Amino acid sequence: MPLLLQMKELASGLPRLSDRVGDFVRSNSESLIAVVSPKKGTNFAKGVAITSILNTDEHSHMEPVRYGSGSGFFRTLLAPHSPGPTVLSRIWGGIVAFMRQPVRWLRALFVSDMAKHSQVLLYMRTLEGTLRMRLGREWRTGYRRGLVTQLDDPSQAPSAFMEEATDLAERFADKTEGVTTTLMTETLLGVPSTAHILGGACMGDSAETGVINTNHEVFNYPGLYVIDGSAISANPGVNPSLTITTLAERAMSLIPTKQTAPEVNPSEKGTVPFTEGLRVG
């Protein structure tokens, strides 16, 4: 999005890009809560990353996520999971949680291998809620020109805290003798996080309704394609990597096969000729 928005502003860039660039940005409406268990013998790092899904209703589910042993840098990003409407209430909630179980918290904060002792609970929903990305200035960009977001519908604003996700995480923590943590930005700022940012260069039937056509080709710029998560125009409610891969393979299959480049004699000096019609993805 930053690249496309910047190029659209330049007369020498891509000024005829659709005005829809940056629209319909969404996430999986998720909540990421890490349960850290200092219990001796705990090892959540064994096995594949995601092994199961708990469906809680028609639009919500939770997935336990593992990280390999040694993947512990994320401990520097964590803070107590403390839902609340204001920063003071969230900080106070974190203090209260620590005071109730100080020994458990101290042991959890200093476990030797964070990945072995933590389980990330990824709660996702298929509910809608979209943002617009634009270039602008605000306190989060240090008042320098950068990427900022605007809500399309304030009533559908994404939430950093979901009651069901919190309840499931706390129950999991009780069973594993652990504590619930979340990203520091959520505790301090109340801003939700996402691992699955999508949209911003969605499909449409014209440049007035979308950025790319059904072949992923950018309107007004033949030969330019967008095939990553920016093209996803809905909230799948699950990890979108396979959806993105499938769309990318389809997009590439629709590009006509071109004549291959002529063979180059190894003894000849110079550059290898560029194949006409080559697409780089």
Q: What is the pLDDT of residue 141?
A: 81
138 found inside a domain: yes
Alpha carbon distances (Å) from 237 to 188, 194, 232 = 26, 12, 12
Do 209 and 127 share a domain, yes or no?
no
Selection from 196, 176, 188, 33 nearest residue 116 by Cα: 176
Query: Within this chain, do residues 144 and 249 fall inside the same structural domain, yes or no?
Result: no
Per DSSP (E only), the strands in 40-88 are 54-57, 60-65, 78-80
Q: Are residues 51 and 80 in the same domain?
A: yes
Q: DSSP label at 244?
A: H
Domain for residue 213, yes or no?
Answer: yes
Other CB atoms within a 10 A radius of the CB of residue 142 amount to 9
pLDDT, residue 265, reads 64
- By residue range, what is the domain housing residue 43? 29-189
**Which parts of the chain sit beneath pLDDT 70?**
260-281
Please check whether residues 169 and 60 belong to one and the same domain. Answer: yes
In-domain check, residue 268: no
Query: Is 134 in the same domain as 212?
Result: no
Number of domains present in the structure of the chain? 2
Single residue among 168, 189, 210 that ends a domain in this structure: 189
Instruction: Measure the CA angle with vertex 99, ends 96 and 100; round to 5°.
Output: 90
pTM of the model: 0.79
- SS3 of the chain: helix, strand, coil, percent, to 5: 25, 20, 55
Residue 83 and residue 113 share a domain: yes
For residues 139 and 220, state if they share a domain. no
Cα–Cα dist 129/5, whole Å:
22
**Residue 61 annotated as catalytic:** no
Q: Which of 59, 61, 81, 196 is catalytic?
A: 196
